[in-house]
Amino acid sequence: MAVFKYYKAENDIGKLGAGVCNISCGGDKSVTHRAMMFAAMAEGESAIANPSRSLDCQASVSALERLGVKCSFDARANRLSLRSGGLKSLSAPRGFIDCANSGTTARLLMGLAAAAEGLSVFMTGDASLIRRPMGRVAAPLEAMGARIVLSSQNTLPAAVSGRRLRGIEFDNIYNSAQVKAALILAASGAAGRTVITERIPTRDHSELMAEQFGLELKKTALKGGGARVAVRGPQKAVPASIAVPNDPSSAAFYIALDALFQVVYGRRLKIKAESVLVNESRSGFYECLFDSGFDMIYTACSDGMVEKSCDLEVNFGGYAPPSPQIIDSPARVVSMIDEIPLAALALTFARGESYIGGLSELRFKETDRLAAVAAQLNKMGAKIKAGEDSLIIRGVKKLKGAAVDSGGDHRIAMTLIIAGILSGADFSVSGCECVAVSNPSFFEDLKKIGFVFHIA
Ligand code: S3P
């Protein structure tokens, strides 16, 4: 297990932020997973420019290769090519497909495999993934006619047998974008109409991506928010060329660091996160920063890709601590679902008490993130109380150094490293290698900003 070690004496904070530091945090993970899965459905060659190089997306590449999709990455062009014979060509590999730490790989792959008639796949994952709930995706796929056997706990390992599927009506009660994606993939291969209703809007990358691959779906807005997505199948996906903007969930760490650095040290790091995906269904954390008093600057915006992107910076907002927040709107929570640990850190520096509610899903992420964020940040002097499905965050003036542990969760690891840097003291984070699950360039980026640290 690798340990991130930071010593105050090696870091001259006063020297940082001399010039603008451009960070390209790599292609968006959610968009890349989807582009790959739809490419596997399409007969012919698809190309993905600027794909996420995360371990999670590599798990999807390996899984699709094992099903017979030919994948090749051109590092110079930063482009991934996938050649598939279409849904019917997917072939059963020997042994298990290992989805590693990636919930998105596991859930999307279930949708894809369910629609591939005659295919039988066995799926598993690492110690964290095999604890995560899979019944939420298996149940609707079974209702469509697939045969899926899960463990007695409704988790991986799973055996999925693709069948001739039929459309269903489905209520996305867990507000899960992964379940929606699995069902859109399956529905494209199913006979008849599938209707997915979501009362709270979840990230809409699958809908946008399906269209790029020539699939037709109809999305209607529901009164009071949410939407209904209807797919009439079977439809044939056609190959596509996709350009992926950079990942806002990775960019959030650098933006938060710059914002909070101002509060703690009274100076900016001048970080500019380049070509970041800008999508309302992913923007909750940035809105939370804005509501806390940090103005965001969006420049060099482009609609040229499937999704919009902009360069992102925090405006120099003075040195005021963030305003405390009450975040209890389900739509807001869903749009920042992966950034909740980081939001808890940001609000730790607020002047007063903050509350984030409706967080029951956080208990089922890579770790129990409610427990992890409270336990580890509190070791650094934060005052966070994890309730059943909420966080209460009492603002503190300063954090302190400590030896903390990521629990093998990439977003907890990055949150703790940012917290440690802001403590201005010696600290260490064990289990730091997992940052590559979503953000393989994280350590290089920290070096580029000017931090000195050791990984032992
Ligand atoms: C994701 C959806 C979210 C998110 C995950 C990625 C996706 O999970 O937490 O990191 O790509 O669809 P849920 O669908 O479980 O909310």
In ligand 1, the atom with minimum distance to the C-alpha of 176 is: 14
Q: Which of 123, 178, 122, 115 is nearest to 142 (CA)?
A: 115
In what order do the strands lie in the sheet containing 158-161?
96-98, 120-124, 158-161, 147-149
Q: What is the mean pLDDT of residues 381-394?
A: 98
Q: Which of 52, 107, 178 to mutate to test the pocket of ligand 1 (most atoms within 8 A of CB)?
A: 178
Q: Please determine, for residue 316, whether its predicted confidence score (pLDDT) is greater than 80.
A: no
The pairing of beta strand 43-49 with beta strand 3-6: unpaired
Which tens digits make up the pLDDT trace of 196-250? 999 999 999 999 999 999 999 999 999 988 999 999 999 999 999 999 999 999 9
The answer to whether the CB of 261 falls within 8 A of the CB of 267 is: yes
Range 125-146 burial, b when 16+ CB lie within 10 A, else e = bbebbbebbbebbbebbbebbb
Measured between alpha carbons, how far is 335 from 327 in angstroms, rounded to an integer? 12
Q: What percent of the chain has pLDDT over 70?
A: 99
Q: What is the mean pLDDT of residues 57-71?
A: 98
Q: Please determine, for residue 317, whether its predicted confidence score (pLDDT) is greater than 70.
A: no
Measured between alpha carbons, how far is 76 from 243 in angstroms, rounded to an integer? 15
Q: What is the mean pLDDT of residues 368-394?
A: 98
- Is there a catalytic annotation at residue 338? yes
Task: Kindly give, in sequence order, each residue whose CB lies less than 8 Å from that of residue 173, ignoring residues fewer than 6 positions away.
Answer: none
The response to whether residue 413 sits with its C-beta less than 6 Å from ligand 1 reads no
In ligand 1, the atom with minimum distance to the C-alpha of 34 is: 11
Q: Which two tokens stand for residue 202?
A: 């979840």
Domain 3-26+246-455 has CATH 3.65.10.10: yes
Q: Which two tokens stand for residue 218?
A: 């109809």
The response to whether residue 184 sits with its C-beta less than 6 Å from ligand 1 reads no
pTM check: above 0.95: yes
Q: Which two tokens stand for residue 50?
A: 């600027």
User: Structural domain boundaries of the chain?
Assistant: 3-26+246-455, 29-243
- Report the Cα 277 to chain-centroid distance in Å: 12
Same fold, 3-26+246-455 and 29-243: yes
Q: Please determine, for residue 380, whether its predicted confidence score (pLDDT) is greater than 90.
A: yes
Query: Which residue bears the tokens 């923007």?
Result: 283
In ligand 1, the atom with minimum distance to the C-alpha of 206 is: 12
Question: pLDDT band at 318, cuts 50/70/90?
Answer: low
Q: What percent of the chain has pLDDT over 90?
A: 96
φ/ψ of 357, rounded to 5, equals -115, 170
Q: Which of 337, 340, 409, 438 to mutate to test the pocket of ligand 1 (most atoms within 8 A of CB)?
A: 337
The answer to whether the CB of 3 falls within 8 A of the CB of 78 is: no
Query: Which residue bears the tokens 């990439």?
Result: 410
The pairing of beta strand 192-198 with beta strand 169-171: parallel
Domain 29-243 CATH class label: alpha beta
